[in-house]
Amino acid sequence: MGDSKELLLEIKNLQKSFGDRQVLEGIDLQVRKGDVIVILGPSGCGKSTFLRCLNGLESVQGGEIQYLGRNLAHDHVDWREIRQHIGMVFQNYDLFPHMTVIDNILLGPLKVQKRDKKEALQQAEQLLDRVGLLDRKDAYPRELSGGQKQRIAIVRALCMNPGIILFDEVTASLDPEMVREVLDVILELANLGMTMIIVTHEMGFARSVGDFIVFMDQGKICEIATAEQFFTQPATERAQHFLDIFQ
Ligand code: ADP
Ligand code: MG
């Protein structure tokens, strides 16, 4: 969040309730171009709900989500359009089972973005090559390992050329031996300057990839610190307790 970088996303006092239960109690966060922000916090504290609000998958009850001069928390937003700019990768890949890898990847670029097929295909193949899966482009999701599916899901998000990508525990469903290959793809994106908000329980990864750690508890941000600060000297007792459990 160095001030010299362009402000991409500014969240102010974001409020989210399910019925009468408030799940996000006034979240404030600034995301600048190139930031890699890692969100940590105990299960149920609102991490997924927060990301889902940024992708239009949950309605919000108050506050602002400012993105390129627009308030996305406002009712009249075309989320199909916004999702081209703010991509999201989920825990369970959600590739379409009846479509091949390449068709899954090209669906958004062709159907939503109406791009030229040859150009989109070229980009998709380049991205597949970069994650080591070009030879699997005609496979169906059921023929792939979990780690491969998750790398495909990342390529699918990237192929829309988003300005920001949100990752929600993308390795949480993977067998341990496949976690690394997915984290390495995200690390490479970080090195390329991609702006990302990452929810993860992989502490070593969080420390190495994150410019900033946002620590959430019970619907609030308790602490924002550099990864170095957070992991060596967290400011709050709640964060220290959280780290004690994981380390
Ligand atoms: P996290 O991702 O940090 O584990 P979530 O954002 O998934 O937490 O959930 C935050 C809280 O909101 C939890 O108490 C959860 O039970 C509740 N919650 C999440 N989604 C819904 C929903 N669709 N309806 C009702 N409650 C929900
Ligand atoms: Mg979650």
Report how far ligand 2's centroid is from the alpha carbon of 97 (Å): 23
What pLDDT, on the 0 to 100 scale, is given for residue 94? 83
What letter represents residue 239's amino acid? Answer: A
| Residue of 79, 75, 152 whose CA lies nearest to 112 | 79
Q: Could you identify the residue written with the tokens 């390329």?
A: 192
pTM of the model: 0.95
Average pLDDT per run of 10 along the chain, which is 247 residues long? 80 97 97 97 97 95 92 87 94 91 97 96 97 97 96 97 97 93 96 97 96 97 97 95 88
What does each C-alpha distance from 15 to 29, 106, 137 come to in angstroms?
13, 35, 41
If phi > 0 it is left, if psi is from -120 to 50 it is alpha, else beta; for residue 223 that is: beta
The closest ligand to the CA of 58 turns out to be 1
Q: 26-60: per-residue pLDDT in tens?
A: 999 999 999 999 999 999 999 999 999 999 999 99
Is ligand 1 within 6 A of the CB of residue 246?
no
User: How would you list the strands of the sheet with 220-226, edge to edge?
Assistant: 86-89, 164-168, 195-199, 36-40, 212-217, 220-226
Is ligand 1 within 6 A of the CB of residue 43?
yes
ipTM over 0.90: yes
Number of Cβ within 10 Å of residue 148's Cβ equals: 21
